């Protein structure tokens, strides 16, 4: 008999097998995760909204269909958590912002429609930096998420919630979004797996936009195979998204099952693996490079000289697009509406100004102001225009690199998880954490982060990033699976087995109060 704790520890692939064999029901699996959520999420705060009744209703329907003998999709009955950036009918969707508090969309994002069609109960919506702006989840309008490895530390961001549900075993799978690293960097900081597909590989219809030329939806899991299975459910052409690629989905699941790098050419990006990395991150990365050679890959150093300018170009382009996308929050059509103080009959402009003042957090305001400045007529050519030229040079660097190698690698993030509060007042320090992830968003190419161990100095997870050419997402999964297979064998089990027991944990912010009483 499988206990409910056991069920929350299983991979999604294993749960799918147990469900298909009739050994467990989706109601048992879903209830186990909801129970785990009740016992630990008060301390982790990875969820913004729970969806217990709807999740259990879907589980019941799937169980019935299975009993009837219906042919069901692979992940039918396996629950999933969704970043609060995706519209869900009848459930709050806030993108982590107070300006959307209580808003319930009248339609589902395409990826949500696909999760529902796949028979996957949606457990709830996960916490995130406001409008996906940030690298720590501390810019959420609803309070930060703790890193399950150490609740006093950040889980990364903006998708810290989607990574933390996996590391705290309150969901077997989660959906994220990645504009400059928001899937991969939280995966690295929590010892989980996260992939940013090729730009246009997964529909963004119904996804709340941050920077439309960079945003990409993607899958998060505790294993490479789980991540590929979720990728496959969500991917594929969507006529409702004009940037959606109308081509066959790369064979990601087969690649994740293969995990064989013999004969592959792997390039170490010189610009992303030199100075500036924490020693423990560097050490695990160097070992991963050696491991890839031992597994039969040919590893060479590759130069992408313009990557040195990627961070500057990214923050200009991202802020410019964000300032334009966020103009829709005008308090007229939906979301928060605040009456200005001391005005008997306020004008529309006064209501918009008061609502934005109250509803947007400091980071959103900072980006709107800087983005508007960069796009203004006097500065457009000097800032936005220049950044777009740099972007082209970066894409060319990648194209030249992929003429020599099949995939490129780097550490996913320069450091392990830092303490809550350490960088929140220092935007530049926060932005520097994205140095390795943002170049691929600028070029539209896919990337994945896979755990490669714990840093010696702090015992916290380190991620390896793998990048591939556009529409070669399957290569990411193949390389990540090879690394995972070898390391899990070395470790004697997955890294996530070593996450501390959280059942006695209390919310970070209230720890002292609870201890005193
Ligand atoms: N941390 C980056 C930023 O703040 C990336 C965010 C993201 O990928 N959504 O913009």
Look up residue 94 and give its two tokens.
């806030």
CA of 434 to the centre of ligand 1 (A): 7
Q: Taking a C-beta distance cutoff of 8 angstroms, is the pair 167, 499 a contact?
A: yes
3-state secondary structure 439-453: HHHHHCCCEEEEEEE
Q: Is the CB of 440 under 6 A from ligand 1?
A: no
- Active site annotation includes 196: no
Which residue in the block uniquely carries the two structure tokens 């016992």? 39
Which residue in 26, 140, 158, 323 is the catalytic one? 158
What pLDDT score was predicted for residue 517? 22
CA 456 to chain centre: 25
Q: Is the CB of 437 under 6 A from ligand 1?
A: no
CA of 178 to the centre of ligand 1 (A): 7
What pLDDT score was predicted for residue 510? 36
Q: What is the DSSP letter of 215?
A: -
What pLDDT score was predicted for residue 2? 55
> Which ligand 1 atom minimizes the distance to the CA of 185?
1
Handedness of CA 53, 192, 186, 151 (dihedral sign): positive
pTM across the whole model: 0.96
Residue ranges matching CATH 3.90.1300.10 in the chain: 9-306+393-498
Q: State how far the Cα of 419 lies from the Cα of 441, in Å rounded to an integer.
A: 27
What pLDDT score was predicted for residue 513? 27
Tell me the backbone φ, ψ of residue 344, rounded to 5 degrees: -65, -50
Q: State how far the Cα of 457 lies from the Cα of 339, in Å rounded to an integer.
A: 51
Burial of 340 from C-beta contacts in 10 A (0-12 / 13-18 / 19+): middle
Q: Which residues of the chain have pLDDT under 70?
A: 1-5, 506-517
H-type alpha helices, 193-309: 224-234, 252-258, 279-294
DSSP bridge pairs for 268:
301, 409
Tell me the backbone φ, ψ of residue 376, rounded to 5 degrees: -70, 155
Burial of 112 from C-beta contacts in 10 A (0-12 / 13-18 / 19+): buried
9-306+393-498: CATH, from 3.40.190.10, 3.90.1300.10, 1.20.1280.260, 3.30.750.24: 3.90.1300.10
What pLDDT score was predicted for residue 505? 80
Burial of 425 from C-beta contacts in 10 A (0-12 / 13-18 / 19+): exposed
Beta-sheet pairing, 217-221 with 173-177: antiparallel
> Which ligand 1 atom minimizes the distance to the CA of 132?
9
Q: Helices then strands (H, E): number in the chain?
A: 18, 11
Cis peptide leading into residue 158 (ω within 30°)? yes
Which residue in the block uniquely carries the two structure tokens 């439309």? 212
Q: Which residues contact 382 (CB under 8 A, 6 or more apart)?
A: none
CA of 317 to the centre of ligand 1 (A): 12
First-to-last C-alpha distance (Å) of the chain: 39
Q: State how far the Cα of 62 lies from the Cα of 71, in Å rounded to an integer.
A: 11
What pLDDT score was predicted for residue 507? 66
Taking CA atoms only, the protein residue closest to ligand 1 atom 4 is 134
| Residue 231, CA atoms < 13 Å, CB-side half-sphere | 35
CA of 179 to the centre of ligand 1 (A): 5
What pLDDT score was predicted for residue 369? 96
Question: From the CA atom positions of the chain, what is the Rg in Å?
Answer: 22
CA of 408 to the centre of ligand 1 (A): 21
The total number of residues shown for the chain amounts to: 517
Q: Is the CB of 135 under 6 A from ligand 1?
A: yes
* 127, 188, 210, 322: residue to mutate for ligand 1 pocket, most atoms within 8 A of CB: 210
Which residue in 26, 83, 323, 423 is the catalytic one? 83
Look up residue 340 and give its two tokens.
């200005």
What pLDDT score was predicted for residue 249? 98
CA of 455 to the centre of ligand 1 (A): 24
Q: Is the CB of 151 under 6 A from ligand 1?
A: no
Question: Of the candidates 36, 14, 253, which has an alpha carbon nearest to the alpha carbon of residue 166?
Answer: 36
pLDDT digits (tens, 9 = 90+) for 426-436: 988 899 899 99
pLDDT digits (tens, 9 = 90+) for 228-245: 999 999 999 999 999 999
Q: Which residues contact 226 (CB under 8 A, 6 or more apart)?
A: 11, 12, 13, 172, 173, 193
CA dihedral 57→58→61→62, nearest 10 degrees, is -140
Q: Above pLDDT 90, what percent of the chain?
A: 92
Beta-sheet pairing, 47-50 with 122-126: antiparallel
Question: Of the candidates 175, 155, 38, which has an alpha carbon nearest to the alpha carbon of residue 114?
Answer: 175
Compute the mean pLDDT over every residue in the chain, rounded to the nearest whole number.
Answer: 95
- Active site annotation includes 158: yes
Q: State how far the Cα of 288 lies from the Cα of 284, in Å rounded to an integer.
A: 6
């Amino acid at each position: 008999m499988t206990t409910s704790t056991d069920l929350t520890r299983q991979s999604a692939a294993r749960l799918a097998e147990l469900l298909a064999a009739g050994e467990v029901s989706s109601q048992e699996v879903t209830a186990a995760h909801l129970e785990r959520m009740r016992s630990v999420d008060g301390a982790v705060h990875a969820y913004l909204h729970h969806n217990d009744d709807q999740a259990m209703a879907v589980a019941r329907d799937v169980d019935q269909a299975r009993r009837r003998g219906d042919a069901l999709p692979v992940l039918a009955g396996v629950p999933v958590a969704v970043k609060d950036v995706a519209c869900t009918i009848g459930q709050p969707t806030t993108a982590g912002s107070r300006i959307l508090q209580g808003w319930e969309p009248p339609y589902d994002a395409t990826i949500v429609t696909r999760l529902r069609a796949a028979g996957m109960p949606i457990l709830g919506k996960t916490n995130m930096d406001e409008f996906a702006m940030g690298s720590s989840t501390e810019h959420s309008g609803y309070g930060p998420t703790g890193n399950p490895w150490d609740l006093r530390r950040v889980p990364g961001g903006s998708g810290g919630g989607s990574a933390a549900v996996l590391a705290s075993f309150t969901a077997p799978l989660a959906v994220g979004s990645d504009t400059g690293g928001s899937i991969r960097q939280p995966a690295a900081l929590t010892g989980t797996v996260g992939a940013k597909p090729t730009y246009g590989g997964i529909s963004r219809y119904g996804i709340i936009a941050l920077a439309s030329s960079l945003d990409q939806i993607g899958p998060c899991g505790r294993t490479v195979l789980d991540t590929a299975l979720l990728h496959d459910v969500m991917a594929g052409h969507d006529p409702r998204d004009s940037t959606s690629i109308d081509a066959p989905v790369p064979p990601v699941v087969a690649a994740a099952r293969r995990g064989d790098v013999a004969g592959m050419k792997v390039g170490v990006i010189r610009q992303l693996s030199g100075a500036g990395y924490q020693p423990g991150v560097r050490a695990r990365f160097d070992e991963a490079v050696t491991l890839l050679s031992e597994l039969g890959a040919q590893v060479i150093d590759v130069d992408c000289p313009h990557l040195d300018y990627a961070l500057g170009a990214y923050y200009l382009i991202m802020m410019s697009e964000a300032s334009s996308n966020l103009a829709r929050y005008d308090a007229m059509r939906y979301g928060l509406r605040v009456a200005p103080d001391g005005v008997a009959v306020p004008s529309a402009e006064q209501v918009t100004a008061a609502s934005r003042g109250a509803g947007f957090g400091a980071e959103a305001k900072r980006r709107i102001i800087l983005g508007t400045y960069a796009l203004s007529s006097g500065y457009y050519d000097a800032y936005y225009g220049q950044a777009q030229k740099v972007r082209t040079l970066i894409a060319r660097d990648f194209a030249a690199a992929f003429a020599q190698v099949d995939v490129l690698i780097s550490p996913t993030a320069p450091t392990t998880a830092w303490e809550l509060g350490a960088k929140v007042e220092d935007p530049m320090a926060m932005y520097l954490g994205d140095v390795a992830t943002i170049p691929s968003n600028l070029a539209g190419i896919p990337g994945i982060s896979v755990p490669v161990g714990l840093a010696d100095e702090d015992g916290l997870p380190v991620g390896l990033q793998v990048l591939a050419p556009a529409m070669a997402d399957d290569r990411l999964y193949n390389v990540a699976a090879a690394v995972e297979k070898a390391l899990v064998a070395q470790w004697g089990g997955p890294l996530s087995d070593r996450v501390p027991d959280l059942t006695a944990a209390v919310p970070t912010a209230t720890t002292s109060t609870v201890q005193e009483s």
